[in-house]
A and B are shown apart, each in its own frame.
Chain A
Amino acid sequence: DVKVTQSSRYLVKRTGEKVFLECVQDMDHENMFWYRQDPGLGLRLIYFSYDVKMKEKGDIPEGYSVSREKKERFSLILESASTNQTSMYLCASIDHTYEQYFGPGTRLTVT
């Protein structure tokens, strides 16, 4: 059974904190993605990675960075959390048929 796991289901952080969201996939997929999901806006791509140590900005990269040191792990970093980064964060990997496999999501609240 294919699986994408995310380190936390719920997180509450304070403004200015550095936040790490971890994602692990067990399908040996090359490409991995981080999205944020907000009501009425759908899924918006923050960053994606097409290989170890390779990354590209998505549509809304400001305020975020990523790290991919191993193929199975893709981390999203909020350098200095702000209240407008309160959102649901979804990690995904993709197979050769373009099917995206999503993790369960991390609901992040920044106060």
Chain B
Amino acid sequence: TQLLEQSPQFLSIQEGENLTVYCNSSSVFSSLQWYRQEPGEGPVLLVTVVTGGEVKKLKRLTFQFGDARKDSSLHITAAQPGDTGLYLCAGPTGGAQKLVFGQGTRLTINP
């Protein structure tokens, strides 16, 4: 069974600080995704990383896929209160387009 472990589980920082969230596995994934979930809503896809070593940027968010395709990180520069939410990583597992999800990182940015 492929598992994804996220760290930290909780992170509370001040506006303007930088942070990194990690998603690790002992298994190789063909791709990894990052979702953000706001309170009372379902998760929304932020990015998919496909190639080992790949780096993708979405404004202040930088996503990296490990060279061995077993891990990924999300770095946020100059965090803002609007970045608050639950961040989930996910990767394909088995067939029928199933995904396995990490347990999530709950991020709080304080003004």
Give A residues with C-beta under 8 Å from B. Answer: 4, 9, 31, 33, 40-43, 45, 48, 50, 56, 58, 90, 92, 94, 97-100, 102-105
Main secondary structure of the interface of A (DSSP, over half): strand
| B contact patch SS | loop
Question: Are B97 and A98 within 8 A (Cβ)?
Answer: yes
Enumerate chain B residues within 8 angstroms of A94, measured Cβ to Cβ.
97, 99
Residues from chain A with a CB closer than 8 A to the CB of B43 are 43, 90, 100, 102
Q: Is the CB of B33 within 8 A of A105?
A: no
Q: Are A92 and B48 interface neighbours, CB within 8 A?
A: no
Check A99 against B33 for contact (C-beta < 8 Å).
Answer: yes
B82 to chain A, nearest CB (A): 19
The answer to whether residues A102 and B103 also contact, given A31-B97, A43-B88, A97-B48 and a CB cut-off of 8 A, is no
CB-based contact A31/B92 at 8 Å: no
Cα separation A100 to B40 with both chains bound (whole Å) = 17
Please judge, given known A-B contacts A40-B9, A43-B88, whether A98 and B99 are in contact too, CB under 8 Å. Answer: yes
Contact B96 A48 (CB under 8 A): yes
Known: A42-B103, A50-B96. A104 touches B41 (CB 8 A): yes
A93 and B33 CA atoms in complex are apart in Å by: 15
Chain B residues within 8 Å of A33, by CB: 98
**Contact status A90-B96, CB under 8 Å:** no
